[in-house]
């Protein structure tokens, strides 16, 4: 796991402070990571412009962290594979066997873990 700043896309970004995705955005920013919040119905999260689709992201993404359930993420498998992130984190409740199979086929590393725990314990 890297301790240097990474470019992190947060799928399911929220502007609500109590949401785990928002807490992750705040902690990622605090730790110096470049954050790309993704949500089709939001324009800003924690002062960071939100992209509405994964297809709007240009450049390399080191980590894609998921905060949407499998019913929302599985249909995005093609977009996620095209994004080709360095790894994908399935936060609790976002696990998707179908999406994991697409990632495996594309050779994209993934793990079932909690982004907040990984960040707080230096394992991100």
Distance CA 5, CA 22 (A): 18
CATH number at residue 60: 3.40.50.720
Q: Is residue 32 domain-resident?
A: yes
Which range marks the domain in which residue 67 is found? 7-120
pLDDT computed for residue 102 by the predictor: 97
Q: Is the pLDDT of residue 3 over 70?
A: no
pLDDT computed for residue 4 by the predictor: 82
Supply the pTM of this predicted model: 0.96
Q: Is residue 81 domain-resident?
A: yes
Count of domains in the chain? 1
Per-residue pLDDT reduced to its tens digit, 9-36? 999 999 999 999 999 999 999 999 999 9
Task: Bin 67: left if φ > 0, else alpha if -120 < ψ < 50, else beta.
Answer: alpha
Q: Is residue 2 domain-resident?
A: no
Distance CA 76, CA 53 (A): 10
Per-residue pLDDT reduced to its tens digit, 50-92? 999 999 999 999 999 999 999 999 999 999 999 999 999 999 9
Q: Is residue 1 domain-resident?
A: no
Q: Is residue 69 domain-resident?
A: yes
């Amino acid at each position: 796991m890297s301790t240097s700043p990474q470019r992190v896309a947060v799928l399911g970004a929220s502007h609500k402070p109590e949401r785990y995705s928002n807490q992750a955005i705040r902690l990622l920013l605090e730790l110096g990571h470049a954050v790309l919040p993704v949500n089709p119905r939001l324009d800003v999260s924690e002062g960071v412009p939100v992209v509405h689709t994964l297809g709007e992201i240009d450049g390399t993404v080191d980590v894609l962290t998921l905060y949407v359930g499998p019913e929302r993420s599985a249909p995005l498998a093609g977009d996620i594979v095209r994004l080709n992130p360095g790894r994908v984190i399935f936060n609790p409740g976002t696990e998707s066997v179908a999406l994991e199979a697409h990632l495996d086929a594309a050779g994209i590393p993934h793990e079932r873990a909690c982004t907040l725990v990984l960040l707080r314990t230096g394992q991100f």
